[in-house]
């Protein structure tokens, strides 16, 4: 019987010298640049190529379409899930912020930055005074929105807080909440004169689910007091898909490897997944050989895309000045998005006969389409202690706050 063989040792891998590799790459890059300069090579910007050869891109396209003109109404199509944080400190004791829809402040900062860069302005502190962006002037440029625009150019707005879902499947329905006077002997801790809000009809069972975003026409019908079937809201509406959760590591700048035990996660909101009806419409459009998706400029967007298959949910915003198409950063992690001008008539408007309806009803319901906070929280600052006051844009109009439906936070 032969004696047991000794354990074979594995070959030890040599330790990498990251600093040496970095210096080697920098040296090779400098040598390559020196060779190009000695050979007289020069890089010509794309704009100069177009100027020198104006027919280069249209040689075989006699009817090449043109890009859309700048507009104050723009769409923003995220190219990856949006990361928007709430501002809470992130450390070992706190979790990552959940996926959020971008608030008006995030979109306003994105468009103000795009406006400054389009004008050749810089935010660097060491930039020349004539090239430095005027942050005070940019802050005065307002941004209304964002709303949503689906591939068929239908405007979508958030579900109002006084619309609640009950039931499931065929028995699902949308129930309206209304202010009611308290019964005799009942009282609340609400401010004096403010009525509680409760369901307008008796409902049995647990709350159900439904779309988070409604088609603009469905919202107007609901505000006009008309019943809106749950199936119609699901067919026309939209809800975000599952969140995009990603795990990241902290890189040690000295070694180039991951730092031990330092992991964190981010949750992004994906707007690329549309309802089944939208996906069917896009596939039909591609099968029919359409040249551009509804809402996309005939000459293509900032990436030159015209295929209907790339159209997804887009943010709809009205800015304080006209903007051209460009690539912008939206939210955290410098995620890219496509900014494109849209026709002015895409921005939703209220029906022209609404003032007469409000006067006839002797009251109105104000729906906030974007998150808002007043000096009194849910209560506007122009209301006095009796919940009565005049809006800033209508000093001759006297209103009294009767009730408020506020989402949980």
Taking the C-alpha atoms of residue 215 and residue 223, their distance in angstroms, rounded to an integer, is 13
- Report yes or no on 321 lying in a domain: yes
Tell me, what's the pLDDT at 316? 94
Query: 233, exposed or middle or buried, with CB in 10 Å at 0-12, 13-18, 19+?
Result: buried
Which pair of tokens denotes residue 357? 């309806």
Range of the domain at 131: 71-153+241-346
Give domain status of residue 122, yes or no. Answer: yes
Q: How many residues does the structure list for the chain?
A: 409
Tokens of 19: 């600093």
Give Cβ neighbours of residue 67 (< 8 Å, ≥ 6 apart).
Answer: 297, 299, 300, 324, 325
pLDDT at 318: 93
Tens of pLDDT, residue by residue, the chain (409 residues) = 555 555 555 566 666 676 777 777 778 777 776 776 665 544 334 344 334 444 444 444 444 445 678 888 999 988 888 888 766 665 554 555 667 888 898 899 889 888 888 888 888 777 787 787 778 888 888 888 899 998 888 999 999 988 889 988 888 888 888 888 888 888 887 888 888 888 888 888 788 888 989 999 999 889 888 888 989 998 888 888 777 777 778 888 888 887 777 777 777 788 865 444 434 444 444 444 444 444 445 555 554 544 444 457 899 999 988 888 888 988 887 888 899 999 988 998 878 888 888 888 888 888 889 888 788 888 888 888 888 898 888 888 888 888 888 887 6
Domain assignment present for 107 = yes
What pLDDT, on a 0 to 100 scale, did the predictor assign at position 238? 87
pTM above 0.75?
no
Does residue 191 form part of some domain? no
Per the DSSP assignment, residues forming a β-bridge with 245 are: 267
Examine residue 395 and state whether it is found in any structural domain, yes or no.
Answer: no
Is 381 domain-assigned?
no
Predicted pLDDT of residue 203:
82
Show the beta-strand stretches assigned E in 183-243. Answer: 197-199, 213-215
Do the beta carbons of residue 315 and residue 148 sit within 8 Å? yes
How far apart, in whole angstroms, are the C-alpha atoms of residue 409 and residue 393?
A: 29
Whole-number Å distance between alpha carbons of 66 and 69: 9
Q: What pLDDT is stored for residue 45 in this prediction?
A: 42
Asked whether residue 104 is domain-assigned, the answer is yes
Place of tokens 């439906």: 405
Based on the structure, what is the number of domains in the chain?
1
Residue 181 lies in a domain: no
pLDDT score recorded for residue 290: 40
Residue 180 confidence (pLDDT): 86
Whether 169 and 210 have beta carbons less than 8 Å apart is answered as no
Rounded distance between C-alpha atoms, residue 299 and residue 406, angstroms: 44
């Amino acid at each position: 019987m032969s004696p047991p063989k000794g354990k074979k040792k594995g070959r030890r891998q040599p330790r990498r010298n990251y600093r040496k590799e970095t210096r080697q790459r920098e040296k090779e890059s400098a040598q390559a640049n020196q060779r190009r300069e000695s050979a007289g090579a020069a890089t010509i910007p794309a704009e100069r190529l177009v100027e020198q050869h104006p027919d280069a891109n249209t040689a075989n396209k006699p009817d090449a379409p043109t890009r859309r003109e700048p507009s104050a109404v723009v769409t923003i199509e995220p190219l990856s899930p949006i990361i928007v944080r709430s501002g809470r400190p992130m450390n070992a004791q706190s979790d990552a912020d959940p996926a959020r829809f971008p608030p008006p402040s995030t979109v306003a900062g994105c468009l103000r930055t795009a406006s400054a860069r389009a004008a050749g302005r810089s935010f660097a502190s060491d930039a020349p005074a004539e090239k430095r962006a005027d942050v005070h002037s940019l802050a005065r440029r307002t941004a209304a929105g964002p709303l949503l625009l689906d591939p068929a150019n239908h405007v979508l707005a958030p579900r109002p807080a006084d619309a609640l879902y009950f039931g499931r499947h065929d028995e699902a329905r949308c129930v309206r909440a209304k202010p009611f006077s308290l019964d005799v002997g009942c009282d609340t801790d609400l401010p004096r004169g403010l009525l509680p809000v409760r369901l307008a009809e008796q409902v049995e069972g647990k709350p159900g689910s439904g779309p988070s975003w409604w088609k603009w026409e469905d919202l107007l019908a609901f505000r006009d007091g008309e019943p809106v079937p749950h199936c119609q809201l699901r067919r026309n509406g939209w809800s975000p898909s599952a969140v995009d959760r990603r795990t990241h590591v902290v890189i040690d700048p000295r070694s180039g490897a991951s730092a031990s035990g330092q992991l964190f996660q981010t949750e992004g909101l994906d707007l690329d997944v549309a309802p089944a009806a939208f996906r069917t419409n896009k596939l039909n459009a591609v099968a029919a050989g359409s040249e551009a998706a509804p809402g996309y400029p005939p000459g293509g967007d900032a990436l030159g895309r015209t295929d209907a298959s790339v159209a997804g949910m887009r943010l709809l915003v009205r800015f304080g000045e006209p903007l051209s198409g460009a690539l912008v950063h939206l939210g955290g992690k410098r995620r890219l998005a496509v900014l494109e001008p849209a026709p002015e008539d895409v921005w939703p408007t209220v029906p022209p006969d609404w003032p007469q309806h409000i006067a006839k009803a002797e009251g109105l319901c104000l729906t906030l389409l974007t998150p808002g906070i007043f000096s009194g929280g849910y209560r506007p600052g122009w209301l006095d202690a009796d919940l009565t006051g005049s809006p800033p844009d209508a000093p001759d109009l006297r209103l009294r706050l009767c009730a408020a439906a506020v989402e949980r936070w």
